[in-house]
């Protein structure tokens, strides 16, 4: 029972520490590392990759039951014997014990937090205290098993069979550069959401997988049925395995559809010259005034959300861990900067969806709900839900005056802790903030105004929502809407 209790404690502690990280995706550039194994031999990842080896990294903890089961399958020993230094000499494998709280006794099977002797029968290098490598790779669980190809790109193969590992190691995708000219599209990185009639920026990650410097290539983007979307002539200078994100230009899509980006210029290897993606067209319309409401479950730090523009740039969002209150409703008001196509993404870190509720709605100038863009209320398993929408009108009076010929200008708006009031009448003798219901929220009598007419006021005690800020003088009243988030 001592081992079981220790394992449960370690699993729980590890889960808490990893909540706000995000696993490196397949196709990401593997971070370099240098470490010394338990025999005192130093190893550097990029030195092996630059020598043409593929490298398997097995991130493990001595208390991890699934790690122990896969470790005892003998798959890595067989791969190392056949393809390691004493075999065809194509592969290197590293066992990386990544929980720095474990001990050398645990590694050798005589400690309190172990399933057995992890060193027995293992001929490939074992690295203890590899938590820094685990963190650099933004791993979130044990075991995490990557194959890193000579081009330094990683792929999480996982606890696969011997044949699956070997087939990937011997595939063209993982082969070392061997021909002078080999332009390779690594991934599509452009927009995947658009709105009717709106241009969508397309882009890809280009790698030189050839042995000679690459200075030019031609891209073509086409629809599923072969209609040309655009062509682009790239020029530059990439050495072997160097990567560049190439902006191909904008394309307009008539409907949701699959499309392809291909390298169509002369190339020594055409197997890696194409990538496909799906462009999703959004039909939901909205104003620029958006309200996000989210009710958390028992693990509020597991959720985040973001609103991105047509280029994929986040314009507003909440990160993992920002919500701290369980079973509580959070409200944010967002004033989007311009018309155009936007996307809303809701994330769940653990991938189980959770028992949360979320609503994304849009409002007009009179603060009436004119459209519910997105709702979610379930306990199903998901890690990302998303919805696109088209902002076709800007709520002008969110930033301008309301009921006066001389506006108060607010900055920033929306605001969180404080807001600057500009263009206040120097004769202002009463400053008030009201809820939209009309109830008084804050008040300043005879505020001390600088000559500039600007005043910084504290709003930390205001709950998220929409308020009316008004300045009163003997002859006039100024007002403006303020969004507190």
- pLDDT of 60 above 90: yes
Q: Which fold has domain 285-396?
A: Immunoglobulin-like (2.60.40)
- HSE-up of residue 306 (Cα within 13 Å, Cβ side): 12
Q: Does 288 or 164 have the greater pLDDT score?
A: 164
Query: 293 pairs with which residues across the strands?
Result: 331, 359
Cβ of 125: how many Cβ atoms within 10 Å? Answer: 18
Average pLDDT over residues 120-146: 96
CATH of domain 2-174: 3.40.30.10
| Residue matched to tokens 């870190």 | 349
DSSP string, 300-335: GGGEEEEEE-TTS-EEEEE-TTS---TT-EEEEEEE
pLDDT of residue 301: 92
| CATH architecture type of domain 183-281 | Sandwich (2.60)
Read off the tokens for 447.
């505020």
Read off the tokens for 460.
């930390």
Domain 399-484 has CATH 2.60.40.1930: yes
- pLDDT of 87 above 50: yes
DSSP string, 189-203: -S--EE-TT--EEEE
Read off the tokens for 279.
């462009």
Q: Please, are residues 56 and 162 in contact by the beta-carbon 8 Å criterion? A: no
- pLDDT of 20 above 70: no
Q: Where are the domains of the chain?
A: 2-174, 183-281, 285-396, 399-484
Question: Considering only 34-43, 44-53, 79-88, 387-396, which range has the smallest mean pLDDT?
Answer: 387-396
- pLDDT of 211 above 90: yes
Question: Considering only 73-82, 106-115, 141-150, 341-350, which range has the smallest mean pLDDT?
Answer: 341-350
With vertex at residue 438, the alpha carbon angle to CA 432 and CA 443, rounded to the nearest 5 degrees, is 20
Residues in the chain, total: 485
Identify the band that residue 12 occupies on the pLDDT scale cut at 50, 70 and 90.
Answer: very low
Q: What is the pLDDT of residues 243-297, one digit of tens each?
A: 999 999 999 998 899 999 999 999 999 989 999 999 988 878 898 888 899 999 9
Of the chain, the percentage scoring pLDDT greater than 70 comes to 91
Phi, psi of 161 (to 5 degrees): -75, 165
Average pLDDT over residues 386-392: 90
Question: Considering only 39-43, 76-80, 155-159, 421-425, which range has the smallest mean pLDDT?
Answer: 421-425
Q: Is the dihedral of CA 461, 464, 470, 471 positive or negative?
A: positive
Q: What is the CA radius of gyration of the chain?
A: 29
CA pair distance 52, 211, nearest whole angstrom? 12
Identify the band that residue 21 occupies on the pLDDT scale cut at 50, 70 and 90.
Answer: very low
CA pair distance 460, 422, nearest whole angstrom? 19
Q: Which residues of 359-374 are buried (b: 16+ CB within 10 A; e: fewer)?
A: bbbbbeeeeeeeeebb
pLDDT of residue 156: 95
Q: Which of 172-176, 223-227, 330-334 has the highest mean pLDDT?
A: 223-227
pLDDT of residue 406: 61
pLDDT of residue 22: 57
- pLDDT of 46 above 80: yes
Mean pLDDT of the chain: 87
Question: Considering only 171-175, 231-235, 398-402, 438-442, which range has the smallest mean pLDDT?
Answer: 398-402
Q: Please, are residues 314 and 243 in contact by the beta-carbon 8 Å criterion? A: no
Q: Does 33 or 405 have the greater pLDDT score?
A: 33
Same fold, 183-281 and 285-396: yes
Q: What is the 3-state secondary structure (H, E, C) of 27-44?
A: CCECCCCEEECCCCCEEE
């Amino acid at each position: 029972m001592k081992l079981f209790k220790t394992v449960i404690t370690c699993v729980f502690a590890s889960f808490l520490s990893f909540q706000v990280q995000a696993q490196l995706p397949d196709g990401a550039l593997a971070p370099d590392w240098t470490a010394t194994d338990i025999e005192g031999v130093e190893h550097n990842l990029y030195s092996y990759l630059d020598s043409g080896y593929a490298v398997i990294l097995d991130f493990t903890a001595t208390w991890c039951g699934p790690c122990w089961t896969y470790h005892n399958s003998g798959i890595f020993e067989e791969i190392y014997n056949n393809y390691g230094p004493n075999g065809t000499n194509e592969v290197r494998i590293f066992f990386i014990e990544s929980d720095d709280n474990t001990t050398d006794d645990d590694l050798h099977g005589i400690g309190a937090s172990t399933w057995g002797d992890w060193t027995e029968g293992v001929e490939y290098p074992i690295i203890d205290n590899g938590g820094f490598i685990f963190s650099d790779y933004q791993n979130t669980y044990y075991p995490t098993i990557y194959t890193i190809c000579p081009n330094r790109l990683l792929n999480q193969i996982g606890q696969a069979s011997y044949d699956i590992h070997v087939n990937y190691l011997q595939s063209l995708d993982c082969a070392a550069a061997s021909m002078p000219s080999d332009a390779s599209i690594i991934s599509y990185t452009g927009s995947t959401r658009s709105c009717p009639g709106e241009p969508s920026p397309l882009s890809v990650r280009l790698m030189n997988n050839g042995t000679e410097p690459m200075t030019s290539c031609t891209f073509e983007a086409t629809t599923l049925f072969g209609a040309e979307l655009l062509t682009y002539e790239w020029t530059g200078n990439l050495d072997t395995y160097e990567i560049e994100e190439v902006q191909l230009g904008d394309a307009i899509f008539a409907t949701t559809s699959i499309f392809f980006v291909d390298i169509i210029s002369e190339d020594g290897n055409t197997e890696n010259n194409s990538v496909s993606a799906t462009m999703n067209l959004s039909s939901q319309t909205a104003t620029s005034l958006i309200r996000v409401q989210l009710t958390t479950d028992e693990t509020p730090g597991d959720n985040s959300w973001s609103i991105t523009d047509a280029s994929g740039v986040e314009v507003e969002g909440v990160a993992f861990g920002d919500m701290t209150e369980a079973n509580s409703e959070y409200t944010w008001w967002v004033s989007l900067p311009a018309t155009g196509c936007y996307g809303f993404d809701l994330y769940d870190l653990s991938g189980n969806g959770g028992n949360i509720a979320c609503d994304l709605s849009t409002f007009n100038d009179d603060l009436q709900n004119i459209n519910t863009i997105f709702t979610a209320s379930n306990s199903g398993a998901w890690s990302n839900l998303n919805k696109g929408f088209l902002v076709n009108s800007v709520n002008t009076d969110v930033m301008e005056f309301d009921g006066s010929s001389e506006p108060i200008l607010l900055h920033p708006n929306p605001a969180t802790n404080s807001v600057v009031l500009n263009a206040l009448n120097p004769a202002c003798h009463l400053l008030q903030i009201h809820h939209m219901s009309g109830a008084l929220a804050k008040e300043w009598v005879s505020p001390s105004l600088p000559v500039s007419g600007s005043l910084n006021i504290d709003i930390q005690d205001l709950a998220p929502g929409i308020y009316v800020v008004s300045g009163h003088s003997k002859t006039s009243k100024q007002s403006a809407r303020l969004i507190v988030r």
